[in-house]
């Protein structure tokens, strides 16, 4: 070996010593890669998945839905129910049906600065939540609580103004530490800009989970260290860093280079990206897919005369080979949807109309609807007008654009000319969808929850109009009196069996009327190191981090 070669070798070795320690992290640390940074750390202002994910490390809701899709206590001792006396039916002051629900906060529960979690925090949270000036995004859950009885420091009773089947689920009631936040709430109008969650985000007194946040760099990363005051099972890692890398190619590169240990399923790669990654690097990582509640569908503009004909809507669906799309594009990981209800939900009904790929049926329905003639492969009506629709979705969403092209091609085979007109998300959701400006089809997803009543999307009172200032999410303009009644009754029916019957009917109507074309349920893809065990995807809105204490390292 020449001297110059020796020098080059020595230089490379020196560089390796300088740079390699940066990539190699200590084994008792975990670095998670995600694609989004929370806009606020306040638990009740601006709901977003990125925030739920990191709050899973640092906070515990009073109740939560677990991986088996059952409501359980995390911060309370026993889940109240009519059967165990924790819930009692009562009348409100104005004579309406109400309910009283009692909870007891577990004795060991305390904030990260050692202050016990008490009913004071519960009452303060309620005061903030129901105050219209506080900036809390959704205060419906707080407004429903008429009063709170303090039984003792840890026990309280909510008096709720209605009887809904999910009376025991208060997962939206995110506790605030009164000992820190009360002073910030002295001027409710200014609370959202003064809350300690954003002005003093690493104050340990804001947290009550296995970890406390010790560093937060906007748009870059957050660091979490063990909470010495945590009363539950000791988590495996001393420190967890959540790094935000929006570009998924860079996210993958960071995983491969050791910059991060895993990619969060909730906010990471799409299924198609994960499948491609698995093909290339599957041996080095554990790749898990979990279908969830995100419902990809096409909202149909029912004011469009062509789409107001049920035969046209059915023909559109019969002409699609959704099973093949699921298998070819998503490796079968994203199941075909038949209604908006997920098969994992206990209220799911399988015996409703399914529209499996059937080109003959599609053709027959189109013929019946008056689109019998064909010119250049496109159907026409008696007046010679071509059968043409416009489909829109969020520009730049690679998966949706890919699916859209396949749909366009399948419809063309059936003689339906579908033109693609995509828009940036902020235009699409900011005006086109919310003000019902799409001509025929709008492809997007609904985020749901287990047994979530789809009132906002299906009730006739929820159709956005200029008169109601475009409020409501029934963008299709669907009107069905029986559906309206069902939506109202399901919410207040406490008997599970009776409710199941109503849910069944709701799905029957949905499948028969097709206000939207169901496509598939999106799946989360978790790319994990093979040594990480105990991470159980839930498939719903509650993230895996809520059970971070069950994660372990297996060598």
Which positions from 449 through 468 interact with another protein, judged by CB under 8 A? 449, 452, 456, 462, 468
Q: Which is nearer to another protein, 348 or 429 (CB)?
A: 429
- The whole-angstrom separation of Cα 263 and Cα 254 is 10
Residue 481 Cβ vs another protein, minimum distance, rounded to whole Å: 21
- The answer to whether 170 contacts another protein (rule: CB under 8 A) is no
Closer of 137 and 492 to another protein (Cβ): 137
Site for another protein in 428-447 (CB under 8 A): 429-432, 434, 446-447
What lies within 8 Å, CB to CB, of 198 at 6+ separation is 40, 41, 42
Q: Quick one: which of 490, 455, 487, 453 has its CA closest to 471?
A: 455
Instruction: Measure the CA dihedral 314/319/324/328, to 10°.
Output: -120
* Residue number, 115 or 339, with CB nearest to another protein: 339
Q: How far is the CB of 426 from another protein (least distance, A)?
A: 6
- Yes or no: say if 454 and 487 are a contact pair by the CB < 8 Å rule: yes
Residues sharing a CB contact under 8 Å with residue 301, sequence separation 6 or more, in sequence order: 307, 436, 438, 439, 440, 441, 442, 476, 477
State which residue, 25 or 494, has the beta carbon closest to another protein: 25
Tokens standing for residue 238: 């001393």
C-alpha 506/C-alpha 107 separation (Å) is 43
Three-class DSSP category at 4: helix
Kindly identify the residues of this chain, within the stretch 236-265, that bind another protein according to CB under 8 A.
Answer: 241, 243-247, 249-250, 253-254, 256-259
Q: Under rule CB under 8 A, which residues in 368-427 are in contact with another protein?
A: 424-427
Residues 91-120 that bind another protein (CB under 8 A): none
Among 217, 233, 284, 354, binds another protein (CB under 8 A): 217
Q: Which of residues 137-166 bind another protein (CB under 8 A)?
A: 137-141
Helix (H, G, I), strand (E, B), or coil: what is residue 49? helix
Cα gap 429→423, rounded to integer Å: 9
Least Å distance between CB 146 and another protein? 17
Which of 1, 4, 18, 91 binds another protein (CB under 8 A)? It is 18
Closest CA to 290 of 61, 528, 55: 528
Which residue's CB is nearer to another protein, number 42 or number 104?
42
Longest CA pairwise span in the chain (Å) = 96
The residue range among 210-218, 323-331, 497-505, 530-538 that interacts with another protein, by the rule CB under 8 A, is 210-218
Q: At what angle do helices 310-318 and 496-513 cross, to 10 degrees?
A: 90
The residue from 56, 268, 472, 537 that contacts another protein (CB under 8 A) is: 472
Q: Which stretch binds another protein (CB under 8 A): 105-113, 215-223, 308-316, 371-379?
A: 215-223
Residue 219 CB, shortest distance to another protein, in Å, is: 4
Binning the chain into helix, strand and coil, the percentages to the nearest 5 are 35, 20, 45
Q: Find the part of the chain contacting another protein (CB under 8 A) among 218-226, 307-315, 483-491, 531-539.
A: 218-226
Number of residues that bind another protein (CB under 8 A): 74
**Closest separation between CB of residue 166 and another protein, Å?**
12
Q: Does 489 bind another protein (CB under 8 A)?
A: no
Tell the smallest beta-carbon distance from residue 434 to another protein (Å). 6
Residues 22-61 that bind another protein (CB under 8 A): 22-23, 25, 31, 39-42, 45-49
Distance of closest approach, residue 88 Cβ to another protein, in angstroms: 26
| Nearer CB in complex with another protein: 50/119 | 50
Q: How far is the CB of 138 from another protein (least distance, A)?
A: 4
Q: Smaller CB distance to another protein: residue 397 or 452?
A: 452
Q: Cβ-count burial of 433 within 10 angstroms (0-12 exposed, 13-18 middle, 19+ buried)?
A: buried
Q: Residue 62 or residue 362: which is nearer to another protein going by CB?
A: 62
Which region among 99-107, 193-201, 202-210, 530-538 touches another protein (by CB under 8 A)? 193-201
CA distance readout (Å), 224 to 59, 238, 270:
12, 8, 26
What distances in angstroms separate CA 102 from CA 72, 139, 553, one per listed residue? 14, 21, 38
Task: Give whole-number Cα distances, 42 to 71, 128, 193, in Å.
Answer: 23, 12, 10
Give the range of 270-278, 303-311, 325-333, 469-477 binding another protein by CB under 8 A.
Answer: 469-477
Least CB distance from residue 77 to another protein, whole Å?
26
CB of 13 or CB of 501, closer to another protein: 13
Report the nearest approach of another protein to the CB of residue 40 (Å). Answer: 4
8 A C-beta contact, residue 49 and residue 36: yes
- Residue with smaller CB distance to another protein, 6 or 16: 16
Least spacing, CB of residue 270 vs another protein, in Å: 17
Looking at beta carbons only, is 165 or 357 nearer to another protein? 165
* Smallest separation (angstroms) from another protein to the CB of 435: 9
Alpha carbon distance 154, 404 (integer Å) = 53
Q: Which of 6, 84, 193, 409 binds another protein (CB under 8 A)?
A: 193
Which SS3 state, helix, strand or coil, does residue 423 take? strand
Q: Strands of 145-150's sheet, edge to edge?
A: 87-91, 97-104, 155-160, 145-150
Structure tokens belonging to residue 409:
């091609």
**Angle made by CA atoms 110, 172, 114, in degrees to the nearest 5:** 10
Considering only 2-10, 20-28, 297-305, 511-519, which stretch makes contact with another protein by CB under 8 A?
Answer: 20-28
C-beta of residue 330 within 8 angstroms of C-beta of residue 271: yes
Nearer to another protein, 316 or 445 (CB): 445
d(CA 299, CA 64): 31
Q: Which residue has the tokens 């937060």?
A: 216
Contact 526, 292 (CB under 8 A): no
């Amino acid at each position: 070996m020449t001297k110059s070669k020796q020098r080059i070798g020595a230089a490379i070795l020196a560089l390796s010593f300088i740079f390699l320690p940066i990539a190699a992290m200590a084994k008792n640390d975990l670095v998670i890669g995600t694609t989004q940074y929370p806009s606020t750390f306040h638990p009740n202002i601006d709901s977003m998945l990125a925030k739920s994910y990191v709050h899973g490390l640092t906070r515990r809701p009073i109740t939560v839905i677990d991986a088996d899709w059952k409501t359980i206590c995390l911060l309370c001792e026993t889940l109240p129910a009519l059967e165990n006396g924790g819930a009692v039916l009562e009348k409100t002051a104005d004579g309406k049906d109400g309910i009283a629900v009692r909870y007891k906060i577990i004795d060991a529960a305390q904030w990260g600065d050692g202050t016990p979690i008490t009913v004071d925090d519960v009452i303060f949270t309620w005061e903030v939540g129901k105050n219209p000036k506080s900036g809390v995004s959704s205060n419906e859950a707080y407004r429903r609580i008429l009063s709170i009885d303090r039984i003792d420091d840890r026990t309280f009773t909510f008096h709720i103004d209605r009887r809904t089947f999910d009376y025991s689920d208060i997962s939206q009631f995110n506790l605030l530490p009164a000992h820190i936040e009360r002073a910030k709430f002295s001027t409710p109008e200014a609370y959202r800009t003064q809350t300690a969650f954003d002005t003093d985000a690493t104050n340990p007194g804001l947290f009550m989970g296995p970890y406390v946040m010790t560093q937060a760099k906007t748009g870059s990363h957050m660091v979490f260290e063990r909470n010495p005051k945590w009363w539950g099972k000791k988590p495996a890692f001393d420190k967890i860093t959540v790094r935000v890398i929006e570009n998924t190619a860079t996210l993958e590169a960071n995983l491969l280079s050791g910059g991060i240990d895993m990619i969060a399923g909730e906010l990471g790669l799409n299924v198609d990206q994960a499948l491609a990654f698995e093909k290339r690097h599957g041996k080095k990582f554990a790749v898990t897919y979990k279908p969830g509640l995100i419902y990809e569908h096409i909202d149909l503009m029912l004011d469009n005369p062509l789409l107001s004909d049920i035969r046209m809507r059915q023909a559109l669906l019969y002409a699609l080979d959704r099973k093949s799309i699921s298998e070819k594009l998503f490796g079968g990981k994203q199941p075909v949807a038949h209604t908006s209800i997920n098969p994992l939900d206990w209220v799911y009904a399988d015996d409703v109309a399914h529209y499996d790929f059937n080109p003959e049926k599609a053709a027959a329905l189109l013929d019946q609807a008056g689109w019998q003639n064909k010119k250049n492969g496109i159907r026409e009506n008696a007046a010679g007008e071509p059968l043409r629709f416009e489909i829109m979705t969020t520009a730049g969403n690679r998966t949706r654009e890919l699916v859209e092209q396949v749909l366009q091609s399948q419809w063309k085979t059936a003689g339906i000319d579908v033109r693609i007109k995509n828009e940036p998300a902020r235009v699409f959701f900011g005006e086109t969808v919310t003000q019902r400006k799409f001509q025929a089809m709008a492809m997007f997803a609904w985020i749901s929850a287990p047994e979530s009543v789809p009132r906002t999307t299906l009730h006739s009172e929820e159709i956005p109009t200029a008169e109601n200032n475009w409020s409501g999410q029934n963008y299709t303009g669907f009107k069905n009196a029986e559906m309206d009644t069902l939506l109202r009754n399901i919410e207040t029916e406490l008997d599970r069996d009776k409710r199941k019957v109503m849910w069944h009917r709701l799905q029957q109507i949905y499948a028969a009327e097709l206000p939207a074309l169901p496509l598939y349920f999106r799946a989360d893809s978790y790319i994990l190191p093979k040594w990480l065990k105990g991470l159980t995807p839930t498939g719903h809105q509650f993230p895996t981090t809520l059970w971070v204490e069950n994660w372990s390292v297996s060598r």
